[in-house]
Amino acid sequence: MRKLLILLLIPLLMACSSNRVTSGDEQAFISGNGVATYISPDNRKEAPNISGPTLSGGSFKSEPGKLLVVNVWASWCSPCRAEAGALQELSLSYPEVQFLGVLTRDTKVAAQSFVDRFGITYPSLTDDAILLEFHGQLIPNAIPTTLIIDSKSRVAARISGEVTYTSLKQLIEKVKSDE
């Protein structure tokens, strides 16, 4: 099973761009270029059920009927650090929208330090196996990747790479206007 998981995650980590980063104590990874992909409501596919253990020791289960922003991140990822403030600010600006991180290729200790450093208040899943369930649709394809799941639990948009406050806000508003 572990080999299958690794084989399925290879495209996730190699897709999108050739921005290979290796500096100091950071791990090598493929980052996206911030390109946003929007899917019209009639072409959206159902997202997997999103739930699991969180970094804080609790559990998360997405709420039906609510928009969900899912951010795939790691503490060693420079673009993840750069976008952390925007994600946190947007999570406070949109209390009616669920925000969720999905920790990948990282340790819980390093991740908790990241969360503390950037004041992240929304939960993060510690098991990235959920990413495999997006197969056959708009998948997370870089670190970081941010997905927007609409209120009907369908994948509506993806930003591959670092988000900005403005780019994510515009996508959230566009998906909300579809409802």
Task: Give the integer Cα–Cα distance in Å for 75 and 91.
Answer: 19
What is the per-residue pLDDT for 121? 98
Give the per-residue pLDDT at 139: 86
Query: Which pLDDT value is given to residue 3?
Result: 45
| CB contact at 8 A, 33 and 16 | yes
Residues 6+ apart with CB under 8 A from 16: 30, 31, 32, 33, 35, 141, 142, 160, 161
Burial class of 94 by CB neighbour count within 10 A (0 to 12, 13 to 18, 19+)? middle
**How many domains does the structure of the chain reveal?**
1
Residue 179: the pLDDT is 84
Confidence (pLDDT) at 155:
96
Q: What's the predicted TM-score (pTM) here?
A: 0.83
Contact yes or no for 84/118 (Cβ under 8 A): yes
Report the alpha-carbon distance of residue 150 to residue 155 in Å, rounded: 6
pLDDT of residue 26: 36
Which structural domain range is residue 69 located in?
2-178
- Residue 32's pLDDT is 66
CATH number, domain at 114?
3.40.30.10
pLDDT at 138: 82
Strand-pair partners of 149 = 68, 155
Angle between helices 108-118 and 78-93 (to 10 degrees): 50
Q: What is the pLDDT of residue 31?
A: 56
pLDDT at 124: 98
DSSP assignment of 23-34 equals -TTPPPEEE---
**Residue 83's closest CA among 101, 60, 57, 64?**
101
Query: Could you read off the pLDDT of 115-143 as tens digits, one per residue?
Result: 999 999 999 999 999 999 998 888 888 99
Mean pLDDT by runs of 10 across the 179 residues of the chain is: 42 36 36 84 95 97 96 97 98 98 97 98 96 87 95 96 96 95
Inter-helix orientation angle 165-178/78-93, to 10°: 50
pLDDT on residue 72: 97
What's the rounded Cα separation, in Å, for the pair 46 and 178?
Answer: 16
